Each structure stands twice: as C-alpha cells, then as structure tokens.
Amino acid sequence: MKKIISNDIVTLRSLEATDLDVLYKWENDTALWTASNIMAPSPKSYLWQYLQNYDSDIYNTRQLRLMITLTETGEPIGTIDLTNFDPLNNRAELGVLIDKAHEGKGYASEALKLTIGYVRDYIGLFQLYALVPVENTICTSLLKKHGFTTAGNLKRWINHGSEVHDVEIMQLLF
C-alpha cells in the first residue's frame, strides 16, 4: 500500500516519540529562532510533553506539524508546519525546515510538492501562504518554483535582537 504523503525521495508523517532528540536539536538552534518566533531554549521535558500530547487533527488544533523523512531510510531531515489554519476561509500558513546537513539536495522541494497536493486534495485548502524574510532568497525561489507569488511586503515585521527584518507575503491559490 502506498503511503498518502510519500514519494520515492521523502515521506511526510506525523510526529512520533522517537523524534524527541531531533526536535530538541532544531528547537534549540538559535539560528532558526527568527523564522520560528522562538525566544528561549526548549527543555527536553517540554518537548516530550508536546510529543505525548500531540494532536495531528488540524481541525482541532488549527495547526499540523509533519516530519519530513527520507523514504528509503526513514531518517528525519526536517519539518513542514501548517499554522494559523483557518477552516472558514480554507487557508493555512506554511513553514518549512530542512536540517543543515540536508540542505541543497532538493528535499524541501519534494516535501513542498507533497504538502501542496495533500492540503489541496485531502484537507481542501484554497490557499497556502508564507511570511518570508526578504533576505531569504533561497526560500523565496523555492516557493516561486511551486507556484507561490508575492502578495505584498510587511515592513519591519520580524524583530531579532537589534535587527528588524521586512518579510514578503508569499501566496499560493488553488
């Protein structure tokens, strides 16, 4: 039986208890805090509780986090986050994380392709959007490759210490 959210390269799956160590690594990487709005380290006990109580029903929690794994080995290499889910207007905000060791190999593109099909065909979304810091040209290029367009700019939107960054609103309509 073929998995719903999988191809020969990557698989998207729900979070599992075995993801604790990799989530701890990513959640405590200060280089990622600007994109994720994290302001302090996350203790393992908090992440363990999160995993134990994780509800993958996007209609209950208004969010969904999927682990990106390599299909061949099952190794976790990143996450796809759908947040700010709005069932009335059928839209959600998208976030993508690929571990630094796996960047530049096309995994984000494969995961995004699967995510787009999943949210359109199974969840019934009409649109995805992402807020991308203007200096993150790699992410902007990835989203444009998959049909996202720039819908606008938000000035001084992300505060990271003494730096304030503008963001592009990227949008994909179905």
Domains and CATH numbers, the chain: 10-126 (3.40.630.30)
Between CA 74 and CA 34 the distance in angstroms is 28
pLDDT at position 73 is 97
Q: Which two tokens stand for residue 138?
A: 């790699």
Average pLDDT of 77-104?
A: 97
In this prediction the pTM is 0.91
The pLDDT of residue 119: 97
Helix (H, G, I), strand (E, B) or coil at 114: helix
Mean pLDDT, the chain, rounded, equals: 92
Distance in angstroms (rounded) separating the CA atoms of residues 171 and 168: 10
Summarize the confidence of residues 89-102 as an average pLDDT: 97
Between 105 and 41, whose confidence is greater? 105
Over residues 133-140, mean pLDDT: 93
The whole-number average pLDDT for the span 60-71 is 96
Residue 57 is encoded by which pair of tokens?
């029903």
**Cα Rg of the chain (Å, integer):** 16
Provide mean pLDDT across the span 21-39: 76
Dihedrals phi, psi of 15, to nearest 5 degrees: -70, 150
pLDDT band at 2 (very low <50, low <70, confident <90, very high): low
Percentage, residues of the chain above pLDDT 70 = 94
Q: Beta partners for 68?
A: 12, 78
- Residue 174 one-letter amino acid: F
